[in-house]
Structure 1
């Protein structure tokens, strides 16, 4: 890889730009550790760039290939399968969806891969209340060491066995989250029986307090209880749960978990975009280092790769053709209507009457790429980065538009959804 001298790096202000760029991201969205960021910037400042490509490539591989194993436990009928389907963006009857209402007859965990991210795996574990094992033995039976964190689900109240299980998980140094499911059903029932005095906020607080009673009687610190509905995944505490899990995950695992989440709020969509913006910066800079060599990058700078990037972004944000067709079926809206309100499907179509200055700029760019050197690095880095960020912003904007469309068609505008 070609060496850049200190004056070249200073001219580009890459170190300062990189530090500023990455510091602007929220901590729970960062995909690169402070230690690694400091290492890269220090090498840029000193001009020691020979190993930068290897370092950045290592970061990208860790982020891209990270695996995540999520254990979901609870008694049969608690809503485990519905929850797993919801986080995988699936509904009952969809291909690869988890079966709902199946009676547990075995201690063997059942695995469900995310349809778009095969390294994200949900493990459906039998509830500890359905076994005769003490917590420590239960965890050993279900292969405790394979999971990154545990989600303990109940559709009523958490039992003493659930509390003891959480204690054992904590003692073994892993995170757990208590999820109270089927909140929508409880709300509907309460409103039906008390139409005049029904107060949603007070009723939800009653459910939360009832769930905490078992913990107050134990010596365990009172945990946070997340109230959710797998059928209305946009509502209640699901966004808070996702944010809490992200804050607990290691830096290298945040990216894959963030991308795997369904677009439940504008904030989730923005976090996905921010996570990808960091990856795009690292990839653009790594490739720009190779561009300092004559003909080092020209073969990678082509229309096909740009088209592939756009297709990948559309799939990640659920605005690709397959996702649009699925949303159209679910929302009972013609797919052509959905396509008419977003931009990304036609983003790369050629615009007529390009100005002479643009044509000249492209020619200069092509010349620099063919001949290498610092100017080539500057052109490649800036143009690759700007183009990728432009596509990302457009696709993320489309995802927000479709999210708002989903709410408006169903007649329930969520306070979580903002107009962009």
Structure 2
């Protein structure tokens, strides 16, 4: 990020600006921003037939099992080949549904070679009951190849529902029994000190799902950490706050780029290029918080809350709509202090000697304030939508 949002304008952008070529400058700027958004992350998900790995893939991507483009699910093995499923909002993040190692008659080492081991950042090994010999063999081979892997025990909601019928039912005790049983099955096969995450593909805000996401985020390389977190579903109010913090940490870099563009002495063009910059960043905010139309409709279907009811919780004019430069410019003039900063930036260009430095300062302040203002509004919108679903009350 430091290299992209430096204080000097890229020569290609600078030349376009000096030639008063707003369209070219905006196109190059857009390309640079997209490069940062396109850091690839490849997640492999494997498990035996009926383990729930396809549902897990769909859940991480925020799509229902019956949605268009969803990984197919069923009681028989539906994954015959290595199949990529790009995230619908963040196509740089791909979940790969792998055939269960038990369905491919290879030793673990050959299995990994067959599925293309090198391309994956980490592996999720899913089981609907006890982890078996094939799971352990695969984990040991992944470990030998110095990659990360995580054991996920799926379909916990089914277990809880079945146990709830008992007179002395205790959810806490049931979860402990399942966890102990999984850990013991791994230890029986010589695999010690490995955490098992208990999850439900249909209730990702419950059990260990949020803890799994936190663990994956923490253990990823720094340059991929934010990409992963921003693409994950909102499983808690805490998740929304962490997304906000991740966005907030980049604001100074975007504002610095805005200031650098303002340093090019072409009147009027800085605001136009800033609008393109803001379209890109605001769009990322909206998609990261799940406030775009398609994400809201998927949430509506999953929670059985009408789409229009979710929309009523949204205050920002940027959410649930197409973000364009015209929309940005219309909105900015309505926010206190921002029109003054925009005007001051342009006026300063005509002041000898000190004009350009002053213009750069106003541009930095304008962009910094605009990004913070709308980030705060969108984060609060995301929280209201999440609370409207009632998911936080089921934790």
TM range (shorter): 0.7 to 0.9
Return the alpha-carbon distance in structure 1 between the equivalents of residues 36 and 277 of structure 2: 21
The answer as to 2:313 corresponding to 1:341 is: yes
Tell me if structure 2 keeps the 8 A contact 1:295–1:370: no
Tell me if structure 2 keeps the 8 A contact 1:180–1:228: yes
- Secondary structure at 2:390's aligned position in 1? helix
RMSD: 3.2
Q: How has the CA–CA distance of structure 1 residues 304 and 249 changed in structure 2, closer, same or farther, with 3 Å as cutoff? A: closer
Return the alpha-carbon distance in structure 2 between the equivalents of residues 280 and 352 of structure 1: 20
What is aligned with 1:113? 86
Tell me whether 119-128 or 318-327 shows the greater mean CA deviation: 318-327
Match for residue 164 of structure 1 among 134, 137, 153: 137
Matches within 5 A, 1:14-413: 63-101=36-74, 103-104=76-77, 108-192=81-165, 194=166, 196-295=167-266, 298-301=270-273, 306=278, 309-345=281-317, 362-368=342-348, 373-407=356-390, 413=393
Task: Give TM-score, length-normalised by structure 2.
Answer: 0.82
What is aligned with 2:324? none
Tell me if structure 1 keeps the 8 A contact 2:342–2:363: no
Q: How has the CA–CA distance of structure 1 residues 332 and 375 changed in structure 2, closer, same or farther, with 3 Å as cutoff? A: same
What is aligned with 1:4? none
- Secondary structure at 1:87's aligned position in 2? helix
The number of residues matched between the two structures is 364
Return the alpha-carbon distance in structure 1 between the equivalents of residues 214 and 307 of structure 2: 31
Tell me if structure 1 keeps the 8 A contact 2:71–2:97: no
CA drift of 1:259 comes to 1.5
- Secondary structure at 2:393's aligned position in 1? coil
Return the alpha-carbon distance in structure 1 between the equivalents of residues 130 and 371 of structure 2: 48
- Secondary structure at 1:126's aligned position in 2? coil
What residue ranges of structure 2 are gaps of 5+ in the alignment? 13-28, 320-327
Q: How has the CA–CA distance of structure 1 residues 323 and 234 changed in structure 2, closer, same or farther, with 3 Å as cutoff? A: same
Q: How has the CA–CA distance of structure 1 residues 350 and 258 changed in structure 2, closer, same or farther, with 3 Å as cutoff? A: closer
What residue ranges of structure 1 are gaps of 5+ in the alignment? 1-31, 416-420
Return the alpha-carbon distance in structure 2 between the equivalents of residues 334 and 121 of structure 1: 29
CA drift of 1:87 comes to 0.4
Return the alpha-carbon distance in structure 1 between the equivalents of residues 92 and 312 of structure 2: 34
CA drift of 1:389 comes to 1.4
Return the alpha-carbon distance in structure 1 between the equivalents of residues 335 and 301 of structure 2: 39
CA drift of 1:304 comes to 6.4
